Chain A
Amino acid sequence: MADTAKSEYRGEIHSRQKELMSAWYQRLDEAARTGAPATVELMISGNCVELLEAFDAVPLYPEINALQLAIRHQSLEPILLAEELGYAADNCAYVKADIGALLKGISPAAGKLPKPSLVLCNFVGCNTYIKWFEHAAVFQGSPLYMLDVPFLRADSPSREDVTYVVRQLREVVKMLEAITGRKFDYGRFRHAVECSRRVEDAWSRIKLLAQRRPSPFDAYFDAITLMGPLYVYRASPAGVEFFDIALRELEARAARGEGVYDQEKFRVVLEGPPPYPYFRAFRDMFAKWRACPVASTYSTVGGLWEFGFRHDAEDPFEAVALHMLEHNLTNRNFLQRYAQLRRYVEDWNAHGLIIHFVKSCRLFSAGQGDMRDYFTRVLGVPTLYIESDLEDPRYFAEAQTKNRMDAFFEALEHAGAHRGLPLAVSGPAGPHANPNLKVIP
């Protein structure tokens, strides 16, 4: 019988995070009531919040609103309303929850949400963004700009890709000038980009802390706590301050040898977004086995920094373009995701991979069967594949998911993974060999 453990850690990070996020909602409420500050609806993926910061405009991320509704068990009602409008049962439920909530006037916070001054669709990978923001613009009566970011077709973007994005960013600047009535302040923009660089530094160091054993940081569930400030405040001094505190706090834990679990048993890599409507129940399934998520792809949707990319204030437009094009999960191709996951398994010394298929999201999920094939058959990494949804509570089979998780960890336990016995890996070892995995020639 496996023992249960509590995974939740509550420190200054959490109280500060709460303060920041409620301050954000207050500013949105202020905008809703008074028309100022300017607000820009934006996607989290590869977001260009630096540009907004240069205009003192506040980002409005519909994904954050949607996930808040789901965590609070309030997503079903707006989803059903959206389906009455004609959205299909299998359209992305983030969109349905957001549009339904919008039309019903439901806000996940105490205050109101404003009608955005601009709906800025950073089309970074996911095609659903285009539809979502077209609809958001129509239903709110806001102007729409489609910032078209070429998908990463090769290892890195071409010069032409970068030029295309930079030219569009300059068009966005013109729009923001008109909307806010302010002249673009290049110095402020550079400052915003510099703040981002500092936040990214701290955030990356936090993620690298999870390479330690035990890991002081849960790179899936706890990462989500940090992701709100990461996207809303990244380009501001408040963000820099927050991430400095977070890093200090987690480094101190690491120095004391404290882990997410006192006796960490398993280390896993997570692929896919969480089932927000059952967030707590899902988390407990890991805690029961003292299994710590040491790395996750979901935490790189807004930006992938732990492999070294930083915004560079020397050329802020290009830095923002490169971030949108190359250094976030959603604009990278599916095989680059395999490579990212493989590196996580190897460098973060994981015992296995958990793929969470979410029906809403084809960007994440279409082809995950092939991914499983690659990890199990080609690499020999123990892999669990489970299905549910990130927003729609109707697609979570709690008992079944729990059984499968238990079976997975039991198998790992049986194989002696937690005692450091190497697990079989076939195929060539990557450059970052993981001692938990033994290569079969």
Chain B
Amino acid sequence: MRSLSPRLLDIPRCVELIQDLNFAEVARWKAEHPGGKAIAYFPVYAPVEIIHACGMLPVGLNGAGDRLDIQHADARFGSFICSIIKTTLEMAITGRLDWMDGMFFSTICDSARNLCFVSKRNFPEKYWDFIHLPQNAGSPAAVDFLEQEYRRILLQLESLAGRKADDDALRGAIRLYNHNRELLRDLYALRERHPERLRTWELYSLLRAGCFLPVETHNAGLEAALAELRAGAAKPRDSIRILIEGSFCEQPPLDLIRLIEEAGCYIVDDDFILGRRWFTQDVPSEGDPIRALAESYLNRSVYSSVRHDPRHPRPRALVEKARSRRADAVLFLIAKFCEPAYFDYVLFKQAVEAAGIPHLLLEFEEKAFTFERSRTEVETFVESLLFD
């Protein structure tokens, strides 16, 4: 098997990683780490540092895209349920997740929560856990609670790993992921300033590839990519600047992201793979690491449709983000049947309209592969803005 050197973290390789439903890269890691465990997590966020500090590989699962035929999961989850729920279960039923030793879900929506427990019944040999991420960020009690929740998880993982993760290991993991997030922030900033240099489908591929790689490898790859991009130059295109909101869980097909760009959009910010970019600043690597992670989750973090924070209402946060990125418009890119995204759409829409920001709603399914209607809608929208 080809081993991945930083140099090889090019875009085609990233795309290959994302589309590989055999998870060869994870299998390779396990082969190289006899006895090593791989712990998956369902979107949006999971404290990957804790998994890493236990010597395990955190794997971010974001559905199976358009490469999986649903044959069994429909009978378990029925109508009106988003695609990622079914593709995740289908992967498990068809043995594609056999490498996985455990999986985390969290407080994002009712479908995902029930999936956690349905999975537990069907695959009792694996470790399934549900993290209660607090929804009352305004209360001082929330930090204390989350700290305890993380300690509970730590204990579970330690017993699974058969080893302890001490504070130094946790701090080391925090530093590695801080660096990872810093690189991603830099890449995002670069794309925002020079969207002609880095297409979003490329950035997305670089970002998501990290879900399947050890963070050290991903960091090296991102560093190389960043150096190359900083030195590069490209000709600006005639495009409008848009911000994408609503794709925090199920991910849009890569071809759809490409299509949006080809239709004349610079995507200047988005919420793809948001959990890997959860923190707006570094998590403190001094002091109690578990406390630092808990406290940062609540206080140094992005807004998201899957969390309630009375201190920062999301509609206002969206408008501020659009303004700070100088976005001409907001594209609500929402997975079919995604309850949190659709609920938020109502207040988001009112807020952007009040702020005079044009917007478009586009619904997707990860498993879709033809986008003619979407293309027309985006093109019409872009034209209306360009020739306004």
A interface residue numbers (CB < 8 A to B)? 85-88, 90-92, 95, 123, 125-128, 130-131, 134-135, 138, 144, 146-148, 150-151, 153, 158, 160-161, 163-164, 167-168, 171, 333-335, 338, 357, 359, 361-363, 365-370, 373-374, 387
Whether A150 and B145, one on each chain, are in contact in the complex, defined by CB atoms closer than 8 angstroms, is: yes
One of B30-38, B112-120, B218-226, B271-279 at the interface: B112-120
- Alpha-carbon distance A158/B167, docked complex (angstroms): 24
Whether A131 and B129, one on each chain, are in contact in the complex, defined by CB atoms closer than 8 angstroms, is: no
- Alpha-carbon distance A95/B346, docked complex (angstroms): 12
> Using Cβ atoms and an 8 Å threshold, which residues of chain B touch A134?
308, 347
Q: A362-B110, A365-B78 are in contact. Are A144 and B310 (CB under 8 A)?
A: yes
Task: Verify if B127 is at the interface (C-beta below 8 Å from A).
Answer: no
CB neighbors of A among B107-147 (8 A)? 107-111, 113-118, 120-122, 129-130, 132, 134-136, 138-139, 141-142, 144-145
B196 nearest CB across to chain A (Å): 33
Partner of B77, one of A87, A150, A367: A367
Task: Verify if B312 is at the interface (C-beta below 8 Å from A).
Answer: no
- The dominant DSSP class at the B interface is helix
Whether B79 and A160, one on each chain, are in contact in the complex, defined by CB atoms closer than 8 angstroms, is: no
Whether B342 and A366, one on each chain, are in contact in the complex, defined by CB atoms closer than 8 angstroms, is: no
Partner of B345, one of A86, A359, A361, A370: A86
Tell me the nearest residue of chain A to B307, going by C-beta.
Answer: A130
Whether A363 and B76, one on each chain, are in contact in the complex, defined by CB atoms closer than 8 angstroms, is: no
Partner of A160, one of B108, B145, B343: B145
Whether A362 and B132, one on each chain, are in contact in the complex, defined by CB atoms closer than 8 angstroms, is: no
Tell me the nearest residue of chain A to B361, going by C-beta.
Answer: A86
- Apart from A131-B343, A359-B80, A369-B74, what 16 extra A-B contacts exist at CB < 8 Å? A90-B80, A123-B308, A127-B339, A138-B347, A146-B136, A148-B136, A158-B148, A163-B141, A164-B145, A171-B141, A357-B78, A362-B110, A367-B111, A370-B77, A373-B75, A373-B76
- Alpha-carbon distance A144/B138, docked complex (angstroms): 11
Whether A335 and B349, one on each chain, are in contact in the complex, defined by CB atoms closer than 8 angstroms, is: no
B194 nearest CB across to chain A (Å): 34
Whether A85 and B141, one on each chain, are in contact in the complex, defined by CB atoms closer than 8 angstroms, is: no
Tell me the nearest residue of chain B to A166, going by C-beta.
Answer: B141
Whether B144 and A362, one on each chain, are in contact in the complex, defined by CB atoms closer than 8 angstroms, is: no
Q: A86-B345, A363-B110 are in contact. Are A128 and B339 (CB under 8 A)?
A: yes
Whether B139 and A87, one on each chain, are in contact in the complex, defined by CB atoms closer than 8 angstroms, is: no
Q: Which of B134, B135, B337, B345 has the most CB of A within 10 A?
A: B135
> Using Cβ atoms and an 8 Å threshold, which residues of chain B touch A338?
121
Whether B81 and A366, one on each chain, are in contact in the complex, defined by CB atoms closer than 8 angstroms, is: yes
Q: A134-B308, A171-B139, A334-B117 are in contact. Are A151 and B132 (CB under 8 A)?
A: yes
> Using Cβ atoms and an 8 Å threshold, which residues of chain A touch B202?
none
Tell me the nearest residue of chain A to B148, going by C-beta.
Answer: A160
Tell me the nearest residue of chain A to B142, going by C-beta.
Answer: A148
Partner of B308, one of A85, A128, A130, A373: A130
CB neighbors of A among B175-225 (8 A)? none
Task: Verify if B249 is at the interface (C-beta below 8 Å from A).
Answer: no
- Alpha-carbon distance A368/B337, docked complex (angstroms): 17
Q: A123-B135, A135-B346, A146-B136 are in contact. Are A151 and B107 (CB under 8 A)?
A: yes
> Using Cβ atoms and an 8 Å threshold, which residues of chain B touch A164?
141-142, 144-145
Task: Verify if B340 is at the interface (C-beta below 8 Å from A).
Answer: yes
Whether A168 and B113, one on each chain, are in contact in the complex, defined by CB atoms closer than 8 angstroms, is: no
Partner of A151, one of B113, B144, B339: B113
> Using Cβ atoms and an 8 Å threshold, which residues of chain A touch B347?
134-135, 138
CB neighbors of A among B334-365 (8 A)? 337, 339-340, 342-347, 349
